[in-house]
Structure 1
């Protein structure tokens, strides 16, 4: 078998993007790349169908912007949040747009671009194991069928990159004792709605559901609209009945017939919503000579559609950093690269990771205090201006900043408390005609106690998510992690002062 400079396992989103990116490095360097994929047939998945503006920008940097053309992709210009019967539009900043598309069509477009790239061999084979020599990874073992005969082959390279997705077969082997298992608290159940008009066309629609997780809808082709229904674990025995009984009635009446038809017509498919924090790959615990990329290494809740944006941004950074390394088989150079890459990706990756779960906790509120924050979040968006521009710039990958995220998250918390004191709330009994009233002065002592509880709940939601982004470091990363810890302490201190002032 020929020797390659790089072997990439997985031709989903990150794999082909990196293969194409490395093949177009400036100068005389033209690496040989083997891109391995178990099946080159068009994949059929219910997630990975919404590309945020930040992801579109990353494609442009990689010279792959044409991959979202000619696949019946639909431009998206923001979000619409529904809290029956109210709605609020959250547009992207002017000049930015995302794309909704069939996942499989986008993947096939990326594979075609990689296949056309100089020096890239796109190979249909199943990677079965890593090849190790002298304490480092030097390639992968594969099997593939040829006329009913199973062939075993080896592909060797100076550097191996694993991008085999959320169900990675190599994650534990690569990370060793530093490996962390994904956690799953809910599933997205998906179907295709035919020829429907969303409440706000060309916008991703997030419907807030009482007693359940949110429902996400976005158009992925001229006639198809994806619906994803979040169901928390444990899953009901009869999913369709549960959805038809408890969730569909809370969605816009104009969409209910199409949803019922879709559930009756096709099988209800589901996908785990997993969390996998990004553990540093520059530690001595991980195998040298191999890099994890994409969902094989880092996952977040798909509610905000940020997965492909993070993966493509990681590819942009990794490509630019590999371009500065003369010998990709040099372990010390790759270790230094992994250390820098881990922290350079943090602003965008951490922002998207934290925001995805913070919004999920708020939108899927399952207790009274989270419900207060959810109401405050919706009313915060209704204020418009920077109350929309800031959060949507974070969500879309345009303005990667954990500090800006912390500012807006706790601004929502304080505004939620303000809403408790000043906005009318329902005081009638369930089933009766709604009667609204502003809290009276004699209720203020109770609300003051509740406001402390609400603020603490916000800290409980945001704090662990922020900590998950800075706790996974190696001894070599101590200086960088200390800087982030100091920023965390500064944030907490500032918020404490603001709370006292409030």
Structure 2
């Protein structure tokens, strides 16, 4: 059964982080006539995901700018004050600068609070339905709305309905069904190099309370741990694609990963692997592409742009994009004429993932990065300001990235190629320096190869 068209000013596809935040943000714009906004979501039940559980300080600040900081209350969220990086039994404390703090939580609880805030906002309607297609404008130039399918209740027939709007915002996440429809020939497919395998540890004790833990595991990708409620700690293990079966993953974690983690985590991990099914999530990279070719439609959040979740920057990027988009639309008369939004967290996430799962010259950079953090001061404050979304500056990122590269070369020059910070440096002999010079050049070249394309990808559009 089909119904007649309903008209809105804005239709948002997806009631996740970006969709709910944008709806609430647009409802606060000072306009003579409030916007009529529809958020269309396939299911309004609480979602269950293993990522989207750590909000960096930059994301908390964006929530405050949107007037939605109350969504962090009443969900048993945990305050996060920084990171602890662990390798070979040695740990480095990386606190957030100043009074900044993040939050970690169960993803589904946070989503339900965001939906509650959006539902209560002026002019916003939550529609539980599946978007089946984007409706083209007459003549095929642009998008005029969406077609949705609603499930019938109590034996009633399913219905379809056309919803029209001046602007359609596609925020349906990393598995977006409409990315190609909005981007057309500019659409790029996400690249997946690994997966996070997740489990919840009960009453685990992390090396530093209220800090995310990044464990660098020799021969394998990094392991992330952070507390998401009073008794629950999320563990994410990076596993290269293609992903093997659960039993093989469990065996891999127990035999290769657990022995390299702090001893206090061994028993909680064993219990978690025995108690629950492992959850999986692809770690995808999707570079931003300039939008505006399709009139009346725009992508936001993971539907448009993804970075490796190692740095926990996804929600921070999405919320800051929402702030920018909200402000742009507040000054635009024609809601179908918006063009572009920027973010810069992506470079850091991919570059750090390349380093933390490294071998060869990248292993030298990884060791140099760890020792760079051990220096403290600006060697921690600068990188963590970037990581947390407090200071999203590509030039600051370039400065610290190449500082790590040069410090890595210094480390091999003085003979501390491996081992912990307590290792006694053994200065190489004169005959070793020609080979070390060649290795240093290779390390610097590798740093350029890692960082250069990422910077170009982010800035070219």
Q: TM-score range by the shorter chain?
A: over 0.9
Establish whether residue 280 from structure 1 lines up as the match of residue 290 from structure 2: yes
The answer to whether residue 293 in structure 2 is matched with residue 293 in structure 1 is no
Q: What residue is the counterpart of 2:351 in the other structure?
A: 358
Q: TM-score, normalised by structure 1?
A: 0.87
Deviant stretches of 4+, over 6 Å: none
Per-residue deviation, 1:470: 3.0
- C-alpha separation between the residues in 2 aligned to 1:410 and 1:259? 37
Deviations 1:384-417 (A, max 9, x none): 0000000000111111110110000000000001
Show the counterpart of 1:261.
271
1:224 aligns with 2:224: no
Matched residue, 2:401: 409
1:146 is aligned to 2:152: yes
Other-structure match for 1:37: 41
Per the TM alignment, residue 233 of structure 1 is displaced from its structure 2 partner at its CA by 1.8
User: How many angstroms does 1:234 deviate by?
Assistant: 2.7
The equivalent position to 2:360 in structure 1, one of 363, 368, 383, is 368
Q: Distance in 2 between matches of 1:408 and 1:36?
A: 42
Report the 3-state secondary structure (helix = DSSP H, G, I; strand = E; otherwise coil) of the residue aligned with 2:44. Answer: coil
The TM-score with structure 2 as length reference comes to: 0.95
> Is the 8 Å Cα contact of residues 347 and 455 (structure 2) preserved in structure 1?
yes
Task: Give the SS at the match of 2:368.
Answer: helix
Is the 8 Å Cα contact of residues 92 and 393 (structure 1) preserved in structure 2? yes
Deviations 1:122-169 (A, max 9, x none): 110000001112222111001111224311111111111100000000
Would you say 1:319 and 2:338 are equivalent positions?
Answer: no
Report the secondary structure of 1:186's partner residue. Answer: strand
Aligned to 2:186: 178
Matched, 1:76 2:56: no
Find the residue that maps to 2:51 and give its secondary structure: coil
Q: Superposed, which structure 2 residues align to 1:381-460 within 5 Å? A: 381-424=373-416, 437-460=426-449
More helix by share: 1
Distance in 2 (CA, whole Å) between partners of 1:426 and 1:304 is 25
Please state if 1:59 is matched with 2:63.
yes
Is the CA contact (8 Å cut-off) linking 1:426 and 1:437 kept in structure 2?
A: no
8 Å Cα contact 2:44-2:128 kept in structure 1: yes
What's the secondary structure of 2:6's corresponding residue?
A: coil
Q: Where do 5+ consecutive residues of structure 2 fail to align?
A: none
Q: What's the C-alpha RMSD, in Å, of the aligned pairs?
A: 1.5
State the distance in 1 between where 2:258 and 2:33 align: 56
Cα gap change, 1:2/1:452 in structure 2, threshold over 3 Å: closer, same or farther? same
* SS across alignment from 2:307: coil
Corresponding residue to 2:92 among 88, 92, 97: 88
Give, in whole Å, the separation in 1 of the partners of 2:391 and 2:412.
Answer: 30
CA deviation after TM superposition for structure 1 residue 27, in Å: 4.3
- Judge conservation of contact 1:236–1:242 (CA < 8 Å) in 2: no
SS in 1 for 2:48: coil
The 2-side partners of 1:86 and 1:440 are apart by: 28
Question: What do residues 76-121 of structure 1 show as CA deviations (whole Å, max 9, x unaligned)?
Answer: 0000000121100000011100000110000000000000011101
Task: State whether residues 425 and 436 of structure 1, in contact with CA within 8 Å, keep that contact through their aligned partners in structure 2.
Answer: no
Q: Does 1:243 align with 2:253?
A: yes
Residue 26 of structure 1: how far off its partner (Å): 2.2
| Structure 1 pair 119–436 and aligned structure 2 pair: CA distance change class (3 A) | same
